[in-house]
A and B are shown apart, each in its own frame.
Chain A
Amino acid sequence: EIVMTQSPATLSVSPGERATLSCRASQSVSSNLAWYQQKPGQAPRLLIYGASTRATGIPARFSGSGSGTEFTLTISSLQSEDFAVYYCQQYNNWPITFGQGTRLEIK
């Protein structure tokens, strides 16, 4: 099983600033990585797939990068609605696995 490790667990950033979230895989997942945003009481929402492709309707301030074992989600200028929990997910191998999440909070 591929273990996905996200860092940091909690990130405090001011609105308008840039946020950088990291995800590391225990072995290569190529570019088979997705990012999700989850707000309280809601289902996760797909942001990025293929490590860097934005899903339909996702604002351009969200960008993903990386391949192999190291991945990054960058939110270029934080809006109030961006404060949430973010998860990465690998789909290169069965079983599908998620990271433990990064909570992005207002500084």
Chain B
Amino acid sequence: QLQLQESGPGLVKPSETLSLTCTVSGGSISSSSYYWGWIRQPPGKGLEWIGSIYYSGSTYYNPSLKSRVTISVDTSKNQFSLKLSSVTAADTAVYYCARSGLKNWFDPWGQGTLVTVSS
């Protein structure tokens, strides 16, 4: 059974870079059948897609965040990562990682990790 687990700091200072890692277990991140994505949810609000990566390294980003986002994959560790630069309080959210097929619906999801941007 595929499982995803987010990890990283729960508190980031304004103007710094948010860094999160998603560890995949129970399956290979190198499968040609899937994308791996990041989605976030500010407290009490809806879902926002951040971006997705293919095992080969091809990436797709939300244009609203593209200038600040980098998603990368480490196939040797079965992990993929998110970096979001120049964060502000508006970036405070629960960050989820998830797998999507080539048709890009998300299943399964990680449990999510809350990242708070505050000094």
Contacts and interface: CB of A to CB of B under 8 A. Distances in A.
Contacts of B52: 96
Which label, helix, strand, loop or mixed, suits the secondary structure of the A interface?
A: loop
Interface in B90-119: 96, 98, 100, 103-112
Contacts of B64: 95
A97 B49 contact: yes
Contacts, number: 58
A45 B111 CA distance: 11
Contacts of B47: 36, 44, 87, 89, 98, 101
B63 A91 contact: no
Interface in A33-53: 34, 36, 42-46, 49-50
Report, as a range, how many residues of chain B touch the other chain: 20 to 34
A98 B49 contact: yes
Contacts of A55: 107
Interface string A27-71: 000001010100000111110011000010000000000000000
Nearest to B6: A43
B60 interface: yes
Given A95-B62, A96-B52, A32 B46 contact: no
B48 interface: yes
Of all A-B residue pairs in the complex, the 9 with the closest CB atoms, nearest first, are: A91-B104, A34-B105, A46-B107, A43-B109, A96-B49, A49-B105, A98-B47, A95-B62, A100-B46
